[in-house]
Amino acid sequence: MRALLEEFMNNYAYARDHDPIKGHPLSNVMKRMVEKVQAISCVATYDGIIVEGSIGKGNWAKIPWLALLDSRITDTTQKGVYVVYLFSEDMSRLYLTLNQGVTEISQKLGTIEARRSLRDKAQEIGARPDVQALDGFRVGNDIDLATMSHLGLLYVEGTIAYKEYHARDLPDDNVLERDLCSLLSVYKNYADETAVIDRKSRPPVNYRDTVHSIYEYIKAKGFVFEEDLLFNFFLSLKTKPFVILAGISGTGKTKLIELFAEAVGATSDNGRFELIPVRPDWNDSSDLLGYRNLEGKFQPGILTRVIQRALSDINNPYFVCLDEMNLARVEYYFSDFLSLLETRRWYKGELRTNKIFRETDFVFQEDREEFAGLYIPENLYIVGSVNMDETTHPFSKKVLDRANTIEFFEVALDNYGSYQETIHFEGQAFLPQKVSSSVLRSEYCVLSDCLPERKAIVDEVVNILTKVNDILQPANLHVGYRVRDEISFYMIYNQEFGLMDKDKAFDWQLLQKILPRLQGSSRKIYQALIGLFELCTNVPLESSEGAAEEAENVLENVAVVRWPRSARKIAYMLGRYEEDGFTSFWA
């Protein structure tokens, strides 16, 4: 660590004054320092710690830094309390500090009030006995960053405690590690207490009210969807950040995606909503993720740029709409991304995937530094709109298994009156609301995450899916563990948030996760549809030839059908089979 610090401090001031920042070797030195800090035992065993450093974005930073943040109380250096190494502008001194984020507070309060607030907070935390007892540290804000920069001066005001090192007399690695671990121990005590207070004082999210507000916002914009559809869309995103909206052209699929994102504060203007029209000539992922040009320089795709923005703003949700995503074969251009989604796992309190790129994908070091570490962030949601007709490509089971497929089929042309009735409220009650990415983020990644607390719900789902598999097995269409887990998560979220009764929720899942798998001309498909209809209605069909008409009669005459949406769809699919000798979920 000492050798890296010396290299950095000996070269930074000259580089800042004479060299362009892009691709500069000092960026790699900072990256190696971050890795060194992450490997220190007290850091490696600190659950939920985030380690990051910066020499500036686009321009050299006056005060470069390397920070350690407890993700329970802050995940950005712009706010909150964290441990940070601050380099003085002239590179003569390095400070290990317990400090505060200054960007957000200065934007909210202005410089004068921000300085006062930072000082007050620093004195309050600095009075803690464990801070006062720090060996070799000084409590207070009399550090000298040799700067007149706005942020640098605010960092001085926000300093709670610090230890000073001189560039010409840096201690050895053992001392550096001991000092960091001492300060980190105090910081963890503070974070433990603060996180508990935050949990007690923070009101729980009312998910039903949140989704209802989104519904009212969309309605006020003149687009009327049933509220259960919004509940279903929300639960589908919560279960997995990849959803397909399918149906005939002009039914509002793309508009729903755009307005849902807008209702939670994500727009194209702030860079948090991106509409990507899919082109028929896409046959690999290069248009989305990027490619190397003839000189070997990496040209990032539009999705890669969105991923970079989302990773730098992890508290806010980001949305990508792949418009008409089946104009090209989805397996050709999106297969890599879908496979990466399956690698999601918990890492220090964050949902992460494997990295998108390999080190060997890049020729130039600056490209490797900028892109090699990217992964799919937990606050990114991909929604595809799909027009199912003869001009588009069908989906493979790989795609259908990995998404909730929401069908847009019903059209009420007389809904235009709703626009006149609701739009005048837009300036009052139905403004976009700020929704944290945690509201949409998946809470469960594998089934063990929700056991044993939610075992009763999982048992009920498994019991039904076992019956479904008994029906699908002869046609070799039975579902596996992925579908079991995702339906379980959906049902758990629905019960926790009180959005729909459980039969209505499972009806959506049967419609979205099971029925899209059934297509073909085999007699076994027809028999499977009959079996599923009987499961949905608890009414046996006597006819083995004209089952469609009998199914329609059941739907007209039976007062209570357990899963009516799925039953209606199955009746339609039976009718297609009888008329055409072939059936499919898609209209």
Q: Which of 55-59, 95-99, 103-107, 191-195 has the lowest mean pLDDT?
A: 103-107
CB 77 within 8 Å of CB 146:
no
B/e letters for 348-364, b = 16+ CB within 10 Å, e = fewer, are: eebbbbebbbeeebbee
Question: Is 20 among the domain residues?
Answer: yes
- Verify that 158 and 275 share a domain, yes or no: no
In this predicted structure, the answer to whether residue 352 has a pLDDT above a threshold of 80 is yes
| Higher pLDDT pick, 42 / 543 | 42
What are the pLDDT digits (tens) for 78-105? 889 999 999 999 999 999 999 999 888 8
- pLDDT interval class at 393 (50, 70, 90): confident
Q: At what angle do helices 207-220 and 227-239 cross, to 10 degrees?
A: 120
Instruction: Report whether pLDDT(419) > 50.
Output: no
Residues 494 and 347 both lie in one domain: no
DSSP 400: H
Q: How far apart are CA 512 and CA 404, in angstroms?
A: 6
For residue 147, what pLDDT is reported? 86
446-460, pLDDT tens digit by residue?
898 888 889 999 999
Residue 585 lies in a domain: no
568 in any annotated domain: yes
The answer on pLDDT for 409 being more than 70 is no
d(CA 183, CA 68): 11
Q: Please give the pLDDT value at position 339.
A: 92
More confident residue, 558 or 204: 558
pLDDT above 90 for 72: no
Let me know if residue 254 belongs to a domain. Answer: yes
Q: Does residue 427 carry a pLDDT above 60?
A: no
Asked if residue 379 and residue 273 are part of one domain, the reply reads yes
End position of a domain, from candidates 201, 220, 247: 201
Question: Which pLDDT value is given to residue 152?
Answer: 83
Distance CA 64, CA 89 (A): 8
310 pLDDT higher than 50: yes
Query: Domain ends where: 178, 201, 224?
Result: 201
Q: pLDDT tens-digit profile of 515-556?
A: 999 999 999 999 999 999 999 999 999 877 789 999 999 999
Residue percentage of the chain with pLDDT more than 70: 93
Predicted confidence at residue 200, as pLDDT, reads 47
Whether the pLDDT of residue 201 is over 70: the answer is no
Task: Please check whether residues 421 and 477 belong to one and the same domain.
Answer: no
In a domain, 14, yes or no: yes
Q: What is the pLDDT of residue 348?
A: 67
Q: Average model confidence (pLDDT) for the chain?
A: 88
One domain for residues 189 and 252: no
Mean pLDDT computed over 5-34: 92
Q: What is the pLDDT of residue 429?
A: 46
Q: What is the pLDDT of residue 94?
A: 95
Structure tokens at 275: 């509409």
Q: Say what the pLDDT of residue 81 is.
A: 93
587 belongs to a structural domain: no
* Predicted confidence (pLDDT) at residue 322 exceeds the cutoff of 90: yes
Comparison of pLDDT for 37 and 250, the residue scoring more: 37
DSSP-derived pairing of the beta strands 93-100 and 161-166: antiparallel
509-542 burial: b if 16+ Cβ within 10 Å, else e: bbbbbbbbbbbeebeebbebbbbbbbbbbebebe
- N residues, the chain: 587
Domain CATH number, residue 222: 3.40.50.300
Residue bearing tokens 């494997």: 354
Across 409-426, average pLDDT: 52
Task: State yes or no: pLDDT of 304 exceeds 60.
Answer: yes
Give tens-digit pLDDT for 232-247. Answer: 999 999 999 999 998 7
Whether residue 172 sits in one domain with residue 32: yes
215 pLDDT band (50/70/90 cuts)? Answer: very high
Arithmetic mean of pLDDT, 562-570 = 95
pLDDT at 163 over 60: yes
Q: Are residues 453 and 436 in the same domain?
A: no
Question: Is residue 426 pLDDT above 70, yes or no?
Answer: no
Query: Hey, what are 558's tokens?
Result: 């039976």
Q: Are residues 500 and 397 in the same domain?
A: no
- Are 164 and 232 part of one and the same domain? no
Same domain (yes/no): 358, 315: yes
**360 with 380, same domain?**
yes
Instruction: Inform me whether the pLDDT recorded for 417 exceeds 60.
Output: no
pLDDT at 362: 94
Q: Above 70 in pLDDT, residue 411? A: no
Mean pLDDT for the stretch of residues 34-55: 91
Work out the average pLDDT over 121-134.
92
The pLDDT of residue 425? 42
The distance between the two most distant Cα atoms of the chain, rounded to a whole number of Å, is 91
Q: Which two tokens stand for residue 30?
A: 């900072």
CB 164 within 8 A of CB 95: yes
pLDDT at 410: 61
Q: In the Cβ-directed half-sphere of 458, how many Cα atoms lie within 13 Å?
A: 17
Q: Tell which wins on pLDDT, 148 or 462.
A: 462
In which element (H, E) is residue 402 found?
none
pLDDT of the residue at 424? 43
- Whether 43 and 184 have beta carbons less than 8 Å apart is answered as yes
Average pLDDT over residues 556-571: 93
Task: Select the more confidently predicted residue: 78 or 196.
Answer: 78
Residue 422 above 50 pLDDT?
no
- List of long-range contacts for 418-425, beta carbons under 8 Å, 24+ apart: 418/219, 418/222, 418/224, 419/222, 422/219, 422/220, 422/222, 423/220, 423/221, 423/222, 425/220
- Integer angstrom CA distances of residue 80 from 37, 45, 121, 452: 21, 22, 10, 35
Task: Give the model confidence (pLDDT) of 265-290 as tens digits.
Answer: 999 998 999 999 999 999 999 999 99
Question: How large is the average pLDDT for residues 400-409?
Answer: 84
Residue 184, domain extent: 2-201
Q: Is the residue at 422 inside a domain?
A: yes
586 part of a folded domain: no
The answer on 563 and 476 residing in a single domain is: yes
Number of structural domains in the chain? 3
Which one-letter amino acid corresponds to residue 341? L
Residue 190, pLDDT above cutoff 80 = yes
Lowest mean pLDDT of 188-202, 478-492, 555-569, name the range. Answer: 188-202
Domain boundary among 149, 178, 201: 201
Comparison of pLDDT for 301 and 399, the residue scoring more: 301
